[in-house]
Amino acid sequence: MSAEARTGAQSWPDTSDTPNTPDVPNTSDASDASDTPGTTLALTPPAELRRRLTDRLGTAARAWLRRALDEAAAHPGTHGPISVWELRIAEAGRRCGPEHADAARVLILHAARADADAVTRVYFQGTAAERRAVLHALPHVVPDSAALPLVEDALRTNDTRLLAAAVGPYAARHLDPHQWRHAVLKCLFTGVPVVAVADLNRRAHGDVELARMLGDYAAERTAAGRPVPEDLYRVLTLTDPTATPPAPAAESGTRGTDGKES
């Protein structure tokens, strides 16, 4: 849903030379924040994510992002039917280009200090792309399990990009073992590469029940004359309790009581 459709009001005037066309990205060799997997968006500290994204945007898009983040920081939280920073989330694809929109939306949510109620509103009112950005942003903005229903909702879909975002570090931290195992199986069912599953090595290690579920799924596929995904064998190997346990995963950025990353 567009920003205009949500409010009946116009958004900012377009500062680029070609209205409704994303500014041409800078073609420097800087790291591309938008092309990184969702898990990287969720793990990269917002300050670093902003630096990478800024390096990739053209002049007009950089100016728009700076204003959007300043505005979100000046008017955090939710206000009335829709907050001004929520409009900027809706505009991000057009202003920054769809390839950079996820990163821009994550930064806006962080700048707005969006809590569980705010991200829930954005998620359920948003497009699939906006929902995906909310899932990427969760480790940066919700320090507890209050937003877990959003992950659970995404795991019920068959949208592979949404599923990949749902199994990021927030899910790794807060899904219980039963939910997490079924999330891994859902990735195998839908073809989402298991590299998208955050903290897979640690959580799968020695998980006998997950090994049983994987074995049952492989047997069903074989009996039906269908190929077994290669990723299944990778995860099955990780469940071996005799293997050397992986090192604890580093915690991703979380918010302190002042809403800033700690």
Give the three-state DSSP class for 256.
coil
Report residue 75's pLDDT band, with 50, 70 and 90 as the boundaries. Answer: confident
The 8-class DSSP code of residue 28 comes to S
Confidence check: pLDDT of 66 > 80? yes
Confidence check: pLDDT of 13 > 50? no
Report residue 91's pLDDT band, with 50, 70 and 90 as the boundaries. Answer: very high
Confidence check: pLDDT of 144 > 80? yes
Global pTM reads 0.78
Confidence check: pLDDT of 262 > 60? no
What pLDDT is stored for residue 152 in this prediction?
98
pLDDT in tens, 153-176: 999 999 999 999 999 999 999 999
Confidence check: pLDDT of 31 > 80? no
What pLDDT is stored for residue 83 in this prediction?
85
Confidence check: pLDDT of 147 > 90? yes
Q: What is the mean pLDDT of the chain?
A: 82
Confidence check: pLDDT of 38 > 60? no
What pLDDT is stored for residue 125 in this prediction?
93
What is the number of residues in the chain? Answer: 262
What pLDDT is stored for residue 185 in this prediction?
97
Backbone angles phi, psi at 78, to 5 degrees: -105, 145
Distances (CA, A) of 220 to 2, 224, 252: 44, 6, 37
pLDDT in tens, 206-243: 999 999 999 999 999 999 999 999 999 999 999 987 76
The 8-class DSSP code of residue 261 comes to B
Burial of 153 (0-12, 13-18, 19+ CB in 10 A): middle
Q: At CA 76, angle to CA 73 and CA 77, rounded to 5? A: 160
